[in-house]
A and B are shown apart, each in its own frame.
Chain A
């Protein structure tokens, strides 16, 4: 009888119980009430709305809007990444330690160099830490309406991200050639071009392509605050509960994301192949043609969007931007405001924790069939499901969930859980596939049932990786949770939206500061947990 029992069962049960107990206050705060979803009246409402999805809208006028919005979304993403690249390169060169002359040896400039780098790193944290949606909302105010706000928001957030990762890639590569060049007295630029780039170019390009794909998803989201593109169209249709239009837009969007996904992974595979063959990037006629095409696409994006960025460089624009920024200071630190912000922060934290946890559970459950444990047909099917889940951005899920679960934090939790399940499911499945099979096979051969063999043969080997993935997503989700409120899903975002609408800029900047602080705290907590568990 004892043979079949799980020997660690009491400890596991106690752990689960303890975790549930710790999560209880969060569940209360996040208004986590799943049973509400299945109330008769609620099911009727959702049913009616989903029923409205069919048939998808295909009116002549509407399709015209749809095509235009799709092109606009593509152009925003491309132009945004191009500008982000321009922002990121100098920042990456300035912050990376791989190109530091003062670090070569004891010298007078060491302290100054370190200080400068530290300062720039703080700037990068600010650029990345404020969600692109918040940047977009601010830019819509300063630079007027339309896609320019979206492009600039992407340029800043993605500029910050690219700069950080570029700097890290440069540091992780082979350091000796660049070091030798610097020691021999060459300039930083030469050391970069001839010492670092040959080794890192492939990884750098690959990451940039991946970010373009992310920017495409992000540019949809930014439409929700009036920065043009598909998001704006979707926001309108959802608000008016026009199911047919929403269905058409969602379908278009899914196809766009899947196409970008395919295109980006194809390009990255090509790059990896080229890298493994020759160590350096192969620049043949094909690559040149690609480059010309790329430049053409970026130029076309700028022309199509008619951004008028030149207007931003005038003195009038600078003063209006200055006037606008001044309004945000000093922060409102009155007790009333702080109390509101603290409450919003707790709600946001609860949304991110519960959303990520649900996603980890959902992802794990979906990863089992997706990893091919139950046959290839089921694996394909679950993979399709996972792709769909993660192709729809959190904010879009949130608008759908606000309808299903009512306005408030619970909609945010569900939105994060759905999108992140898609992401984690895929990562988990890959981890399971890559797990060494021998321990499990040994257990199965020794007569252990399949479940026990999985629990003791496969799971221990992959658990640290799974936990690390989940924690990484938590870091992303805290940023997301902060903005889901823009569509009525509770937390800091809802407060920020109202304060910005009422021109209460001092309160708005307190909220933005709280978002930054929260994301820094969660980053630190997640890093600490990963170190402890890893």
Chain B
């Protein structure tokens, strides 16, 4: 009797386990737009920033919009290229990577006005560092290795100024995110660092920057962030998404909140050609093979 019960229980358990793993299909209903963003700031911060935009998109597109938080840049690229995401907020370099990984099918839709003329700020808390040349032999912090404004473009401009980060810095550190770079430099963990101008201005406005941290150089402008969709998304839906972004108007108080959180004055259309410069910079800096 006992023997039978035991066998029954074991069989039951096995069947349950198997059923769970098989009957749980990828019921990712078509009616959900899966959105993510490269984690260039704290993911909780990104979620907070996205909430009103998500609601707006839900209303405009007439479908559910879900935000997938991530902590790895490359994971967003890989997910977009393997159709696990529909729409993603990418940096210039991550867009180039996504374009290559998706065999040229990813479509950049829109970008903020300032993304067409983006810059990076070199910061330090060390009074002896006054120019880029002074950073030789110092500990230097980039953001994430995949970041455009926190790694690629600063590296490219450093190399143009005759400084090879792999040779001339005492140590290269990757803080992982722009606000983390400021924290690294403020704490003296790195002698100097570089981050995206937009995040820097936000941190200064919010008075989150230690008084001794200052900007000592700025890069020339380049194309950065955009909203990209995967290429095999329904073309009608792609049009609707682009239209929804372009319709955002700062004069409309409802839209103003969304734009303020995205730190955008308005969104403008963008195209692949804008990112050829980034691709060349990535090749020149040895980050793209």
Q: Which residues of A contact B (CB under 8 A)?
A: 41-42, 45, 48-49, 65, 82, 86, 137, 140-142, 144-146, 225-226, 232, 235-236, 239-241, 283, 288, 291-292, 295, 298-299, 302-303, 306-311, 313-314, 320, 402-403, 406-408, 488, 497-498, 500-504
Contacts and interface: CB of A to CB of B under 8 A. Distances in A.
Contacts of A142: 78, 82
Given A145-B70, A239-B180, A299 B145 contact: no
A240 B101 contact: no
A288 B72 contact: no
Interface in B74-127: 74-79, 82, 84, 97, 100-101
B186 to A, nearest CB: 8
Contacts, number: 137
Contacts of B75: 140-141, 144-145, 226
Q: Which 4 A-B pairs have the closest CB atoms?
A: A311-B26, A501-B145, A144-B84, A295-B13
Nearest to B152: A502
B286 to A, nearest CB: 9
Interface stretch (B53-61, B130-138, B171-179, B218-226): B171-179
Given A145-B70, A502-B74, A502-B145, 14 more contacts: A82-B17, A141-B78, A225-B72, A226-B75, A236-B42, A291-B13, A299-B16, A306-B24, A308-B24, A407-B139, A407-B171, A488-B174, A501-B146, A503-B97
Contacts of B10: 291
Contact of A407 (B25, B74, B76, B189): B189
B20 interface: yes
Contacts of B22: 310, 313
A145 B38 CA distance: 12
16 contacts: A145-B79, A239-B183, A288-B9, A291-B9, A291-B10, A295-B12, A295-B17, A299-B16, A309-B24, A310-B26, A311-B28, A406-B139, A407-B190, A501-B145, A501-B146, A503-B100
Given A236-B42, A239-B175, A501 B144 contact: yes
Nearest to A507: B289
Contacts of A232: 43, 71
Contacts of B9: 288, 291-292
Q: Which of A402, A488, A500 has the most CB of B within 10 A?
A: A488
A302 B24 CA distance: 9
A501 B180 contact: no
Contacts of A406: 139, 189
B23 interface: yes
Given A226-B70, A403-B189, A283 B17 contact: no
Contacts of B274: none
A310 B176 CA distance: 33
B68 A283 contact: no
A313 B26 CA distance: 10
Contacts of B100: 503
Interface of B: 2, 5-6, 9-10, 12-13, 16-17, 20-28, 36, 42-44, 68-79, 82, 84, 97, 100-101, 139, 144-146, 171, 173-177, 179-180, 183, 187-190, 287-289
Nearest to A44: B188
A41 B188 contact: yes
Contact of A288 (B5, B84, B139, B144): B5
A66 to B, nearest CB: 12
A497 B97 CA distance: 16
A288 to B, nearest CB: 6
A303 B177 CA distance: 33
Contacts of A501: 72-74, 144-146
B287 A241 contact: no
B179 A498 contact: no
Q: Which of A240, A298, A308, A314 has the most CB of B within 10 A?
A: A240
Contact of A145 (B36, B287, B289): B36
Contacts of B174: 488, 497-498
A241 B188 CA distance: 13
A85 B178 CA distance: 41
A407 B173 contact: yes
Contact of B183 (A241, A299, A498): A241
Nearest to B287: A502
A146 B68 contact: yes
B72 A140 contact: yes
B24 A307 contact: yes
Contacts of A308: 24-28
A299 B20 CA distance: 7
A142 B77 CA distance: 11
Given A41-B188, A504-B289, A236 B43 contact: yes
A310 B25 contact: yes
B101 A503 contact: yes
Contact of B187 (A49, A82, A144): A49
A207 B288 CA distance: 46
A141 B80 CA distance: 10
A302 B21 contact: yes
A225 B9 CA distance: 38
Nearest to A408: B171
B144 to A, nearest CB: 7
A204 to B, nearest CB: 15
A394 to B, nearest CB: 19
Contacts of B12: 295
Contacts of A500: 74
A318 B146 CA distance: 27
B204 to A, nearest CB: 17
Given A308-B25, A309-B21, A406-B189, A295 B71 contact: no
Contacts of A407: 139, 171, 173, 189-190
Contact of B6 (A283, A408, A502): A283
A483 to B, nearest CB: 15
Given A299-B17, A302-B21, A310-B24, A403 B187 contact: yes
Q: Which of A65, A320, A502 has the most CB of B within 10 A?
A: A502
A218 to B, nearest CB: 17
